[in-house]
């Protein structure tokens, strides 16, 4: 529940304070989207864990949404984290962020890396102690998530004349297309890595990695909820 509330604060701070009052990035970057998505997922899982009878109280489509967005959160956060470290070493944006090129001691660069690191720690904690699967058939949702963000980046480019990332910037000409293809391929690889880790965990615990059968997704001691029984 904490992460859901933090997501509400994050969106409010970025959209209401940063963007409206100071006309800064708002929800411009992919990292903003990934942290909001992660908070949304943790909010859905908290819903299941806090009610006394999750299976009878929570609609099945909400549980399905939680599992789908959990997989998207994994793939998108892996990609955003790798991208942040790549940018730090090979494409530093200290001057863009702080107005001075003081790499590698750029405060906002390290703030950004810390944010991504915390996101991954939250996901790794859920992988270690949780039971939510990352399913093969949910790959398309990760690709769709990135495509929706690309449309948002193009909208910003047409509205403001500035694109958040070069890989989505039509002003670079045909050089944008290989970057876009690489990004779509990259998020598919990230989904495959996350699924590999979850399959190993579920196999060791004797659970079906696709969440089919009598599988449950316990979220607190002594509690659990039916996840995807009969949905496969």
* 226 is a domain residue: no
Give dist(CA 152, CA 168) in Å, integer: 10
How many domains in the chain? 1
Q: What is the pLDDT of residue 219?
A: 41
* 217 is a domain residue: no
Q: What is the pLDDT of residue 16?
A: 62
Give dist(CA 9, CA 95) in Å, integer: 27
* 181 is a domain residue: yes
Give dist(CA 88, CA 100) in Å, integer: 15
* 219 is a domain residue: no
pLDDT tens-digit profile of 91-109? 777 766 666 777 777 777 7
* 228 is a domain residue: no
* 225 is a domain residue: no
Low-confidence ranges of the chain (pLDDT < 70): 1-26, 51, 53-55, 95-99, 211-232
- Domain extent at residue 6: 2-205
Dihedral (CA of 17, 21, 22, 26) sign = positive
Instruction: Say if CB 8 and CB 89 are below 8 A apart.
Output: no
* 212 is a domain residue: no
């Amino acid at each position: 529940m904490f992460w859901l509330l933090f997501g509400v604060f994050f969106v409010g701070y970025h959209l209401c304070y940063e963007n409206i009052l100071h006309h800064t990035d708002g929800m411009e970057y992919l990292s903003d989207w990934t942290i909001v998505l992660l908070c949304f997922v943790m909010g859905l899982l908290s819903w299941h864990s806090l009610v006394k009878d999750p299976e009878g109280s929570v609609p099945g489509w909400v549980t399905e949404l939680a599992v789908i967005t959990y997989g998207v959160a994994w793939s998108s956060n892996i990609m955003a984290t790798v991208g942040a470290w790549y940018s730090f070493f090979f494409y530093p944006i200290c001057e863009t962020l702080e107005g001075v090129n003081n790499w590698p001691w750029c405060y906002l660069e390290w703030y950004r890396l810390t944010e991504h690191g915390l996101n991954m720690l939250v996901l790794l904690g859920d992988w270690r102690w949780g039971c939510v699967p990352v399913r093969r058939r949910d790959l398309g949702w990760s690709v769709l998530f990135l495509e929706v963000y690309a449309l948002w980046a193009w909208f910003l480019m047409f509205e403001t004349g500035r694109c958040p990332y070069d890989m989505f910037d039509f002003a670079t000409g045909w050089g944008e297309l290989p970057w876009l293809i690489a990004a779509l391929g990259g998020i598919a690889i990230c989904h495959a890595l996350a699924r590999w880790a979850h399959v190993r965990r579920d196999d060791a615990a004797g659970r079906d990695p696709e969440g089919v059968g009598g599988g449950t997704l316990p979220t607190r001691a002594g509690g659990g909820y039916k996840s995807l029984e009969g949905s496969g």
